[in-house]
Amino acid sequence: MPELPEVEILVRHLDPLLRNRVIRSVDVRREKILRPTSPAEFARRATGAKILSVARRAKYLLFALRPPGGKEADLLIGHLGMTGRIYLAPRDRPLPRHAAVVFDLGLHYCVFEDTRYFGRMTFDTAPLAELGPEPLEPGLRAEVLWQGLRRSRQAIKVKLLDQSLLAGIGNIYASESLFVAGIAPCRRADRLKIDEVSILLRAIRKVLREAIAAGSTVPLDFAGAEGRDGLFYYGSSGPGRYEERLRVYDRLGQPCLRCRAPIRRTVQAGRSTYFCPRCQCGLRVRAGSTGNTSRDR
């Protein structure tokens, strides 16, 4: 579920639930998730600690802890990887197969579940130092972004995934932002003009804010009988599905919402990119027909 908007929504949901709760004990079921913190150190620093707040930086969750001794604050960080989720669950419910780390909070368990185990729950905060600016930070100027792009010959889509340039955008919102900006994903970063970067930054902010707003309306009753949240891109069903709000991502062959040309897919740096060949690349393609033979969901 993890790009900046999903993490932001999760953080807003978790903060009031976890604030001032004490971690009575920890159950580490997948030590890999703690890397590079050792299980012993993790248990020592987390057990008995009070959660002071839950915040976000890029795609990281920041758990401010106060150790039992009542000493200075400690920082625990979480990353959801590709499939990570965090939610409260009644302690009488059996833990899911891929529960990686479980905090005992008394009435509830706080469960970090991650089927692929790419996520993190660790006291190693070094990765935070590598992060670029927050896209939604009001003080961020297009000029700064432009400076960061001008020395790279990589495609702009690939650069948007570079967390040291701009932090929090992932594969889905990279395609979405470029579509809204009307910029071809294959454009070389160093060939973008300052005005285009300005338009792109505006598009990024619009897309991220929209996603946060939409996600905020989704009920996140993690502790309920359902045990699942509505933030998943895939596997969910019914109206208001997450993917239905996406403009181009995963819409191969479907008509562009702006010009009806069939959406195309390409691969950049090993990741899928979706785009409109006409709106973004200026290609003269027929509108209307699907132009492809693939049948998607």
Partner DNA sequence: CACCATGTTCCTTG
Partner DNA sequence: CCAAGGAACATGGT
The residues that are catalytic are: 2-3, 59, 271
Does 230 sit near DNA (CB under 7 A)? no
Does 218 sit near DNA (CB under 7 A)? no
Q: Which of positions 54-73 make contact with DNA (CB under 7 A)?
A: 58-59
Among 10, 23, 76, 172, binds DNA (CB under 7 A): 172
In the three-class reduction of DSSP (H, G, I as helix; E, B as strand; rest coil), residue 275 is classed as strand
Does 122 sit near DNA (CB under 7 A)? no
- Taking the complex as a whole, the smallest distance from the CB of residue 228 to DNA amounts, in Å, to 11
Among 51, 100, 171, 215, binds DNA (CB under 7 A): 171
Contact between 238 and 221 under an 8 Å Cβ cutoff? The reply is no
Residue among 215 and 277 whose Cβ is closer to DNA? 215
Among 82, 140, 194, 223, binds DNA (CB under 7 A): 82
Does 270 sit near DNA (CB under 7 A)? yes
Among 70, 138, 139, 235, binds DNA (CB under 7 A): 235
Element (H or E) spanning 52, and its range?
strand 50-57
Dihedral of CA 20/16/167/249: which sign?
Answer: positive
- 254-276 CB burial, b ≥16 within 10 A, e <16: ebbeeeebbbbbeebeeeebbbb
Whole-number Å distance between alpha carbons of 190 and 156? 8
- With contacts defined by CB under 7 A, name the span among 62-70, 170-178, 200-208, 285-293 that binds DNA: 170-178
In angstroms, how far is CA 169 from the centroid of its own chain? Answer: 7
Does 21 sit near DNA (CB under 7 A)? no
C-alpha distance from residue 70 to each of 46, 65, 207 (Å): 13, 10, 42
Q: Which of positions 100-119 make contact with DNA (CB under 7 A)?
A: 115-118
By CB under 7 A, how many residues form the interface with DNA?
A: 38
Does 157 sit near DNA (CB under 7 A)? no
Termini Cα distance of the chain: 19
Residue among 22 and 212 whose Cβ is closer to DNA? 212
Does 206 sit near DNA (CB under 7 A)? no
Does 210 sit near DNA (CB under 7 A)? no
Whole-number Å distance between alpha carbons of 266 and 89? 40
**Looking at the DSSP assignment, which residues form a beta bridge with residue 267?**
272
Among 12, 205, 209, 271, binds DNA (CB under 7 A): 271
Among 161, 194, 212, 223, binds DNA (CB under 7 A): 161
Does 2 sit near DNA (CB under 7 A)? yes
Contact between 35 and 120 under an 8 Å Cβ cutoff? The reply is yes
Element (H or E) spanning 267, and its range?
strand 264-268
Helix axes 194-216 and 4-18, enclosed angle (nearest 10):
40
Q: Which residues lie near DNA (CB under 7 A)?
A: 1-3, 6, 32, 58-59, 79, 81-83, 97-98, 115-118, 127, 130, 151-154, 158, 161, 163, 170-172, 232-235, 269-272, 297
